[in-house]
Amino acid sequence: MQSISAEGVNITERAIPVANGYVNALDGMMKSPMGDVINVVQQLGEFTSLVSLLTSTGLVHVISADMSITVFAPNDAAFQQLDPNIKTYLTNHPEDLKEVLLYHIVKKKTVYSIGMRHTITFHTADGKHVNLMIMEDFASGNIMVNDAKIVAKDISATNGVIHVIDKVLIPVRVLLNMESQGLTIG
């Protein structure tokens, strides 16, 4: 069963005829976006680490240029709980840092939580991984992205949507690179 939504709000009845066209009935209020994805995360204030890293790696343009993007944004708490060895490794390996950041982005696709009710996978913007798995934990009602929990969902932006996650996602290839350097994670 496919759900249809507008700005993350369910459309409950489609194409109701009215005098000058059609309207769709919604089960909630649509919110006007506060700007593009970068502007929104800057305004929210809990993404200083993410914004700083996107800026230092030159990836702000990747997000700003895409007009239909989904970002799984680790908040500052997620970066603070990141293993210190991983932080050091990523600081010293900027290409792997870029890969980690791009792993949080699904380009050319705006996915609201209503579309995450079944296990699905997405191609990520890093171009190397296809296994960003989204699934709903029916027992708790949580939506998971790999092993990270979505803690705030459906934050609309003019060029896509943001879902806040509680962990930084590390792609397998980067983990293997760390292990090859003798780094023990965990």
Residue 127's pLDDT band, with cuts at 50, 70 and 90, is: confident
Q: Is residue 69 part of a domain?
A: yes
148-157 vs 132-137, strand pairing mode? unpaired
Residue 160, pLDDT above cutoff 50: yes
Residue 148, pLDDT above cutoff 90: yes
> Is residue 18 located within the same domain as residue 45?
no
pLDDT digit string (tens) for 3-18? 555 555 666 777 677 7
Q: What is the pTM of this model?
A: 0.82
**CATH label of the domain that carries residue 76:** 2.30.180.10
Amino acid 76: pLDDT: 98
Q: What is the mean pLDDT of residues 118-141?
A: 77
Amino acid 87: pLDDT: 93
Q: Is residue 153 part of a domain?
A: yes
> Is residue 36 located within the same domain as residue 115?
yes
122 phi/psi in degrees, rounded to 5: -135, 150
Taking the C-alpha atoms of residue 186 and residue 174, their distance in angstroms, rounded to an integer, is: 14
Amino acid 5: pLDDT: 52
Q: What is the mean pLDDT of residues 168-174?
A: 93
Amino acid 31: pLDDT: 66
Domain of 80 in residue numbering reads as: 32-180
